[in-house]
């Protein structure tokens, strides 16, 4: 298996760490405009190999140019201009669109059959632009979407009820950003709607506003204190990769190109999708309430306006 990573900043490094530790990839090629730093990162990773914690060893190398990202099975796109203003991810939009044009055309040329996983923000728009400029089939281009927002929500709900987060099935949908929303009608704990579960466990109802605020604020708090987020997004990206590589048919809110689902057409937005060996196997159209559909459309309009 050959893997290409484009952009080895904070997110790219974490993605590389997961792949290095857990995947059975034979070759990982990394392209970043800062080649010297990329080489030093790889040397640093390689120093851990002789300690023997890894069952296998992936050969890692720096790409001289895009032609080294040739015949990859997977390409991870984390390249970005410096994210100075994360309070509005749309500020990155115009500059990162240019990057997606360059990278999309290069990946289509050298690895046209790859599965592409994108984190660059604003991730819904960047996934759209990548599909547009690469011309690659949209089901093989996945944005990290609302996966990170969703795990934050699950953590909030698990803390509220003091139960394992693995018992929580709830999602954040829509734009990965300020207009995302929680479809509470499908939020469950161990098979019960969250409000039903409150009664069963004898715990107060979840304050829905507060939960949404937690989801939005957590990323900002991390970013404002550390200057970047990497662990949660690295794990999220690896989860997408595993779902494809192991053909898990796992349902996740990735950034997917919609074709009329939820009444949204020709737009990439966080949507519940079955992820398996072909990438996005199917976008699922859940029976949301009228109010939730309204929130979905507001979020879609927000992305559309930003891309104008």
Ligand X SMILES: NC(=O)c1ccc[n+]([C@@H]2O[C@H](COP(=O)([O-])OP(=O)(O)OC[C@H]3O[C@@H](n4cnc5c(N)ncnc54)[C@H](O)[C@@H]3O)[C@@H](O)[C@H]2O)c1
Enumerate the known binding-site residues for NAD(+): 7-12, 32, 96
Interface with ligand X (CB under 6 A), residue from 4, 9, 177, 183: 9
Instruction: Output the six-digit token pair for 147.
Output: 């996966």
Euclidean distance between CA atoms 115 and 94, whole angstroms: 24
Least separation in angstroms between CB 51 and ligand X: 26
Query: In the block, which residue shows the tokens 């090629």?
Result: 29
Q: Of the listed 138, 139, 160, 176, which one is catalytic? A: 176
- Of 113-121, 180-188, 239-247, 281-289: span binding ligand X (CB under 6 A): 113-121
* Shorter beta-carbon distance to ligand X: residue 27 or 102: 102
Q: Does 233 bind ligand X (CB under 6 A)?
A: yes
x-or-dash string of contact with ligand X, 268-307, rule CB under 6 A: ----------------------------------------
**Could you tell me if 274 and 284 are in contact, meaning their C-beta atoms sit under 8 angstroms apart?**
yes
* Shorter beta-carbon distance to ligand X: residue 9 or 253: 9
Is 176 a residue of the active site? yes
Q: What single-letter DSSP state applies at residue 204?
A: P
* Shorter beta-carbon distance to ligand X: residue 4 or 197: 4
**Residue 49, CA distances (Å) to 1, 21, 62 in order:** 19, 10, 17
Q: Does 94 bind ligand X (CB under 6 A)?
A: no
* Cis peptide bond prior to 122, omega within 30° of 0: yes
| Position with the least CB separation from ligand X | 9
Instruction: Output the six-digit token pair for 213.
Output: 């605020």
Euclidean distance between CA atoms 191 and 249, whole angstroms: 20
Identify which of 115, 137, 118 has the alpha carbon closest to the alpha carbon of residue 77: 118
Sign (positive/negative) of CA torsion 163, 169, 174, 176?
positive
Residues that bind ligand X (CB under 6 A): 6-12, 31-34, 78-80, 82-83, 92, 99, 102, 119-121, 123, 144, 148, 176, 228-229, 233
């Amino acid at each position: 298996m050959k893997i290409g990573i484009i952009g080895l900043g904070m997110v790219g490094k974490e993605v590389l760490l997961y792949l290095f530790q857990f995947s059975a990839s034979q070759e990982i090629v990394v392209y970043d405009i800062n080649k010297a730093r990329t080489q030093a990162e790889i040397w640093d990773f390689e120093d851990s190999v002789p300690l023997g914690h890894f069952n296998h060893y992936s050969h890692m190398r720096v790409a001289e140019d895009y032609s080294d990202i040739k015949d990859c099975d997977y390409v991870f796109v984390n390249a970005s201009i410096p994210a100075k203003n994360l309070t509005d991810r749309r500020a990155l939009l115009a500059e990162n669109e240019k990057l997606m044009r360059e990278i999309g055309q290069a990946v289509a040329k050298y690895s046209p059959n790859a599965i592409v996983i994108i984190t660059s923000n604003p991730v819904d728009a960047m996934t759209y632009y990548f599909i547009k400029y690469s011309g690659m089939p949209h089901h093989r281009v996945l944005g990290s979407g609302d996966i990170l927002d969703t795990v934050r929500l699950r953590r909030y709900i698990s803390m509220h009820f003091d139960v394992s987060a693995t018992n929580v099935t709830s999602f954040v949908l829509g734009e990965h950003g300020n207009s995302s929303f929680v479809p509470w009608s499908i939020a469950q704990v161990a098979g019960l709607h969250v409000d039903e579960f409150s009664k069963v466990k004898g715990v107060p109802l979840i304050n829905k506003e507060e939960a949404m605020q937690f989801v939005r604020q957590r990323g900002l708090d991390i970013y404002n204190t550390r200057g970047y987020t990497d662990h949660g997004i690295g794990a999220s990206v690896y989860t997408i990769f595993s779902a494809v590589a192991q053909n898990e048919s796992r349902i996740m809110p990735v950034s997917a190109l919609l074709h009329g689902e939820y009444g949204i057409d020709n737009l990439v937005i966080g949507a519940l999708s079955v992820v398996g060996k072909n990438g996005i196997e199917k976008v699922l159209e859940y029976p949301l309430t009228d109010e939730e559909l309204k929130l979905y459309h507001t979020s879609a309009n927000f992305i559309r306006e930003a891309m104008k």
